[in-house]
Amino acid sequence: MTIRCLLVDDEPLALDLLEGYVKKTPSLTLAGRCNSAFQAMEMLDKDEVDLIFLDIQMPGLSGMEFARSMKNASKIIFTTAFEQYALEGFKVDALDYLLKPVSYPEFLNAVNKAKRWFDNSEKSVAAETRNSIFVKADYKLLQIDFNSILYIEGLKDYVKFCLESDEKPVLSLMSMKSLEENLPVNRFMRVHRSFIVNLDKIKTIERNRIVFGKEYIPVSDNYKEKFQQFITERFF
């Protein structure tokens, strides 16, 4: 995809530098440049952009204040001379934080990070519209309905689809990482290095383990916070 970007900085030289970088980066197209957060707000009311390169210290309304007030889905890469705002920047879900003077390699690295985010976002949207997945198993292509999956277990180079109604598990040669990227995130969650669970099939949780009949799926520390958030959203 080509990423439409907006440049926001009160320093003309900084805008000129970033515009030059944008023009020589094939994955980017320039939607506009603004010398204040107020001008950027006006532009975003009229047009949609994917990515904003945003300065922080600007008169009237800072880049951080602007980022907190944004209501559209544009992603942000901060460009600033002040490193002390980095933590605050990531609290508003910024994709990256570049310190001035920004070199082109640093700029390109941030753009590639943004491109990966947009690519993964597109995959997630596509996955959420599907109801099944095709996998290779026993020299055949098998279609597995998402609704039939209880959980998925990683076994070295293979994954095992454990299905409900006592159906025979399906073993397929693939990685957990690639599978996770192609499953709808609103229906499946990785809870352990070796396990992905179907959220709709969870009936019982016991001592930080998900119970599927006689099987107990552990929730590891790396995934505990995300899983707890899922539980909290549905807790009465």
**Could you read off the pLDDT of 92-141 as tens digits, one per residue?**
788 899 999 999 999 999 999 999 888 877 666 555 567 888 899 888 89
Judge whether 198 and 146 are in contact, CB under 8 Å. yes
72 with 42: CB under 8 angstroms? no
- Domains of the chain, each with CATH number or no CATH: 3-127 (3.40.50.2300), 132-233 (2.40.50.1020)
pLDDT, tens only, 53-94: 999 999 999 999 999 888 778 899 999 887 776 677 677 788
pTM: 0.56
**Residue 159 backbone zone (phi > 0: left; psi -120 to 50: alpha; other: beta):** beta
Report the amino acid identity of residue 124.
Answer: S
